């Protein structure tokens, strides 16, 4: 493998050494499989007339029905299959979380590297970040979603907004404070002496060093996005129709006209939301532990042999004459 990606491999190995990261990644992959399986199941095993998450109805049963062989998690008060609705709600949640993670990473890393590299940008961005910290992100999204006329908050747009707001406020704060010690460290000085431009310092030294902690923070933001999106759909403020939050809402609300609480719907949807968020949280713990003690099993690979050589060459102690 190319020498530039050595640090990436070492980092991945260090992350996967932590059991939290393994479990968290496992949970995320599991939900990814669930999301993929839904269209496949509807194509092959399930009759769309019975199992469609929006309009399915099983006339052979009275609804709501408890879990059975035909309906693994039972049906809700409208006769729709709970398991199918649960699977249909997986993709919106995953999409919101992943979009939020990527957007947070891009915004926060951009702010951090700009303010680490350029002093004027640091002044301006400092004010912006400071102002962003007064913004309560869930409330802003609530205001955005509250307009009943427009179905605006699709999972993708939700993720973009959540990521942008989180990235510009607390994400940028965290990464900026992490970037400052890196910029003052010895290897950056060495690179500067060797003639590296600010751009080279940012892309070849700052960003790789910032990446571990950025990943940990970004995955945490994804967890927040999943919870917030569930909450907004619970209030029916998002554009998604089949959603875990909506499922929780209907499970509680139908209690009023069916007389009994639909425990199978409530527990399934709530547990799915909690487990996916837990997956993101555990992955974040693993990533953070790996970032706190990077490459604990082996010495860090020498990133720039050339720099070391150049530094040595230029700063040879003067020979006594």
Partner 1 sequence: MLRRYVVARILAGVVGIIVFLTAVFFGTRLLVPGDFADNFAVGGNPGDAARVREALALDRPVWQQYLIWLGRTFSLDLGQNPRGQPVIDQLLDALPWTLTMFAIGLGAAFLIGSRIGRWAGWRKKSLTPTTLGAATFTSVFPPWLVFLAFYTALNLFGFSRFNDLTALDFYLWRQGPPQDSILWQMMGTALILVGLAAAAIRLLPLKWKAGARRASLFLVPLLTMWWWSQLGIFVYAQDLLGFLAMPVLVLFMLSIGDIVLVIAASMDGLSDSDFVVTARAKGLTDRQVRNRHAGRVALLPALSRLTANLPFALGGLVIVEASFARLGGYRIPVPGVASVLFGSLRERDLMVTMGGLVVVGVITLLLRIVLDLIVVKLDPRIQLEKVVVRA
| Least distance CB 49 / partner 1 (angstroms) | 31
| Least distance CB 277 / partner 1 (angstroms) | 4
| Least distance CB 238 / partner 1 (angstroms) | 14
Note whether 246 and 233 are within 8 A (CB): yes
| Least distance CB 301 / partner 1 (angstroms) | 22
CA–CA dist 161, 61 (Å, integer): 43
Q: Which is nearer to partner 1, 117 or 224 (CB)?
A: 224
- Cα angle 256, 260, 263 (rounded to 5 degrees) comes to 110
| Least distance CB 292 / partner 1 (angstroms) | 5
| Least distance CB 170 / partner 1 (angstroms) | 4
Contacts for 148 with CB less than 8 Å, ≥ 6 apart: none
Burial of residue 47, with CB atoms counted within 10 A of its CB: 0-12 exposed, 13-18 middle, 19 or more buried:
exposed
Tokens read off for 176: 């900026």
Burial of residue 308, with CB atoms counted within 10 A of its CB: 0-12 exposed, 13-18 middle, 19 or more buried:
middle
Q: Which is nearer to partner 1, 79 or 279 (CB)?
A: 279
Q: Which is nearer to partner 1, 57 or 294 (CB)?
A: 294
Q: Which is nearer to partner 1, 191 or 251 (CB)?
A: 251
Peptide bond into 64 cis (omega under 30): yes
Q: Which residues pair with 81 in a beta bridge?
A: 75
Burial of residue 157, with CB atoms counted within 10 A of its CB: 0-12 exposed, 13-18 middle, 19 or more buried:
middle
| Least distance CB 51 / partner 1 (angstroms) | 25
Contacts for 58 with CB less than 8 Å, ≥ 6 apart: 50, 65, 70, 71, 75, 79, 81
Q: Which is nearer to partner 1, 35 or 232 (CB)?
A: 232
| Least distance CB 15 / partner 1 (angstroms) | 13
Q: Which is nearer to partner 1, 148 or 320 (CB)?
A: 148
Phi-psi region of 259 (alpha: psi -120 to 50; beta: other; left: phi over 0): left
Binding stretches for partner 1 (CB under 8 A): 18-20, 23, 127-128, 130-140, 142-144, 146-147, 149-150, 169-170, 173-174, 223-224, 227-228, 230-231, 234-235, 244-245, 248-249, 252, 261, 266, 269-270, 273-275, 277-278, 280-282, 285, 288-289, 292-293
Q: Which is nearer to partner 1, 84 or 228 (CB)?
A: 228
Q: How far is CA 45 from CA 30, 38, 201, in A?
A: 20, 10, 55
- Cα angle 237, 25, 91 (rounded to 5 degrees) comes to 30
Q: Which is nearer to partner 1, 11 or 280 (CB)?
A: 280
CA–CA dist 54, 241 (Å, integer): 8
């Amino acid at each position: 493998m190319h020498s530039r990606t050595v640090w990436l491999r070492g980092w991945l190995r260090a992350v996967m050494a932590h059991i939290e990261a393994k479990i968290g990644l496992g949970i995320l992959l599991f939900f990814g499989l669930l999301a993929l399986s839904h269209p496949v199941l509807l194509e092959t095993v399930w009759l769309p007339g019975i199992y469609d998450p929006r309009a399915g109805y099983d006339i052979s049963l009275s609804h709501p029905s408890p879990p059975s062989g035909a309906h693994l998690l039972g049906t809700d008060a409208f006769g729709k299959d709970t398991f199918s609705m649960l699977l249909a709600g997986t993709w919106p949640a995953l999409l919101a979380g992943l979009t939020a993670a990527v957007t947070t990473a891009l915004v926060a890393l951009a702010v951090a590297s700009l303010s680490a590299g350029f002093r004027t940008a640091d002044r301006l961005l400092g004010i912006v970040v400071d102002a962003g910290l007064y913004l309560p992100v869930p409330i802003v999204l609530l205001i955005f979603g509250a307009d009943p006329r427009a179905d605006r908050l699709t999972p993708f747009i939700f993720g973009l907004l959540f990521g942008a707001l989180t990235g510009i406020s607390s994400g940028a704060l965290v990464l900026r404070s992490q970037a400052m010690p890196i910029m003052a460290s010895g290897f950056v000085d060495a690179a500067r002496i060797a003639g590296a431009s600010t751009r080279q310092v940012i892309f070849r030294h700052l960003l790789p060093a910032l990446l571990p902690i950025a990943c940990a923070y970004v995955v945490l933001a994804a967890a927040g996005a999943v919870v917030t999106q569930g909450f907004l759909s619970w209030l029916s403020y998002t554009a998604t129709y089949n959603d875990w939050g909506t499922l929780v809402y209907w499970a509680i609300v139908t209690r009023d006209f069916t007389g009994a609480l639909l425990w199978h719907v409530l527990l399934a949807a709530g547990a799915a939301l909690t487990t996916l968020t837990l997956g993101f949280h555990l992955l974040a713990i693993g990533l953070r532990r790996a970032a706190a003690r990077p490459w604990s099993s082996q010495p860090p690979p020498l990133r720039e042999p050339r720099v070391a050589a150049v530094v040595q060459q230029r700063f040879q102690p003067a020979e006594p004459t």
